[in-house]
Chain A
Amino acid sequence: MKFGILVNEGPYNHQASDTAYQFTKAALEKGHEIFRVFFYNDGVNNGTRFGVPPQDDRNITKLWSELAEKHNLDLVVCVAAAQRRGILDADEAKRHGKDGDNIAPGFRISGLGQLIEAGIQADRLVVFGD
């Protein structure tokens, strides 16, 4: 079965991203397909590579990046929500005259249409939030 995943909260403050990660991992282990993981609201903050959590805690962004690399996942950060919160890739940084980008490996920035498309294409869309 094809799943779409929506993550509406950032890392650490809420458990949403952790639960979404565990769900995604379990779905992949069961042989399901993950059509896309879409990050919205403060969920876009999962996509910064600048987070430095304490060494004895999990690094949520890194976990997503590694899962994406292993399973060729499509991790999409909403561009409008990302701009509000200062999550930028190199193109976005250049376009807005910012002096650097912070998007983590395996994540890409795109529009809200990608969420709607996930709703249309996936058999189930599962929402994780506050």
Chain B
Amino acid sequence: MQKSLAAPTGTAIRNPIQALARWRDEFKEIFSARVRERQLGFRYTWYLGALTLGTFSIQLITGLLLMLYYHPSIPQGYADMKDLHFVVSSGVFLRNLHRWSAHAMVFLVFAHMAKVFYRGAYRPPRELNWVVGVCLLLLTLLASYTGYLLPWDQLSYWGTTVGSSIISSTPFIGEKLRFILLGGHTVNANALLRFYVLHVVILPLAVILLVAIHLWRLHKDGGMYVEHEKNVEKR
């Protein structure tokens, strides 16, 4: 069933698509050579997974750029926000894009999950991928929550105060957990630094790792789900 889409080895490559197709052999763990048209019908997926990945890419790019002007300290973090708004060229645009794209990402992750559920695309052999997806949902929410503190404005501070107080309501270990998360008894400089490290290093790395597993499993489990058919692997 394997069809080589690339021009046969040794012949000239006539167009960029053929060049891409030859590369495809390097990526065959991720892409099938051919997909059924039904798998791509807009009404089956609404492209929610791809769009979520798109917003995540925007987050990575804008986030990396924002890091160049942001210091995770008090009150410098807030001053950097003001600088982004009024001093840095296009700073306010990048911050806006980072924020609105984050909102879009959260919405899309939820929508993707609902769509996958209603199509029954969690069925075997896709159980593992469903669980990976739930983990990605949690990581997305955590990334939003940690990012929320970084501007160090009133909403950040009190949102994080309330959020971390929820943790301390856990019996027995709650206070200790909150202390470790914040690095103090109140939301302060330690908390800002910890949330910053979580937001820019730990959570994005975890998301990238899980997205890689998510896409790889998607391919292994037969590509995008098609209802009421046996999922035969087609290559």
Do chains A and B interact in one complex?
Answer: no
